[in-house]
Amino acid sequence: MAEVTARITVAPVPARIRVARRAWQMRRLPLIPMFTLAMFVVTGIAAPWIAPHNPERGDIRARNVPPAWLDGGSTKYLLGTDHLGRDLLSRVIFGARISLVVVAVTLGVGMVIGVSAGLVSGWYGRWVDELVMRLVDIKLAIPTILLALVLVLSLGQSFLVIVAVLAIAVWPRFARNVRGEVLLLKTMDYVSLAKVAGASTPRILFVHIFPGVINTLIVLATLEVGIVILLESTLSFLGAGVPPPTPAWGSMVADGRDRLAVAWWISTMPGLAIMLVVLSMNLFGDWLRDKLDPRLRQLE
């Protein structure tokens, strides 16, 4: 009896379906989080040009207008208005600008302080390491919210105060992680050879050791972005953040907390913005960690 061999042909998957599958495979390439973060950055930079209305100017006759897709809504105010008649879409867009500036300045200052402290602590060891790590422990033992409230009451509410509070909150994490990397890297052969060659301590730290901690810094910075946004939003919600009338996502959520029953969109829209940006940043940070860690790349 003759054997019959059946050949099964599989139709190629359309390109749009392959892109959709990849978009949901966050570990492979987080397209959706990357798109969300790109929109966050572009919106923050171009806020004055893309916002449809002045975020600080209200119209009492247009108070509590619902979003455009609800009954009573208007295409003039796509996300609705708040209790003072201010356009929520414009305020969310400018709130992204405030969050972007706060994140950039805070991480810049926090990374400079934390990386410098971590490099010095890990390299010199002994009493220097003990002093720096005890400062880190003291900071981690102090609640950030309580520290912010004390500083705001003492120095007044301003942008510089909130940046200083957030920088104080993030530098210990950079210092501790960099210190751990330096303790490992300073035992490497190439560092020993640099010592024998007569390289100075600053050259060894910034030319030979610092490049080895850049991957860790990049991943840590991406994860810290979400923490900084949440802290800034929390402080603004409590009235200790960016001073009004500057639109900040946390203060916008606070504006609508007493009106959830009649105007839920006032708090919901900025709350969704916070959730989407922080979630996207965390997913992007996880993917970046997997890509930059050679041990995890071998498991793919």
Is 237 domain-assigned? yes
Residue 15: predicted pLDDT: 58
Is 270 domain-assigned? yes
Q: For residues 99 and 232, is the Cβ–Cβ distance under 8 A?
A: yes
CA distance 35 to 30: 9
* 12-63: pLDDT as tens digits: 656 555 555 555 555 567 788 889 999 999 998 998 899 888 888 888 888 8
CA distance 212 to 184: 10
Is 219 domain-assigned? yes
Whether the per-residue pLDDT at 299 is higher than 50: the answer is no
Tell me how many domains the chain contains.
Answer: 1
CA atoms within 13 A on the CB side of 58: 17
Which residue has tokens 């751990």? 180
Is 1 domain-assigned? no
Is 23 domain-assigned? no
Domain span at residue 130?
Answer: 29-54+62-140+168-297
What is the domain-level CATH number for residue 247? Answer: 1.10.3720
Is 14 domain-assigned? no
Is 155 domain-assigned? no
Please tell me the pTM assigned to this model.
0.82
Categorize the per-residue pLDDT at 91 as very low, low, confident or very high, splitting at 50, 70 and 90. very high
- Within 10 A of 261 (CB to CB), how many other CB atoms are there? 6
* 161-214: pLDDT as tens digits: 888 888 888 899 899 999 888 888 888 888 888 888 888 888 888 888 888 888
Is 24 domain-assigned? no
Residue 196: predicted pLDDT: 83
Helix or strand holding residue 164 (H, E): helix 159-185
The DSSP 8-state label assigned to residue 77 in this structure reads B
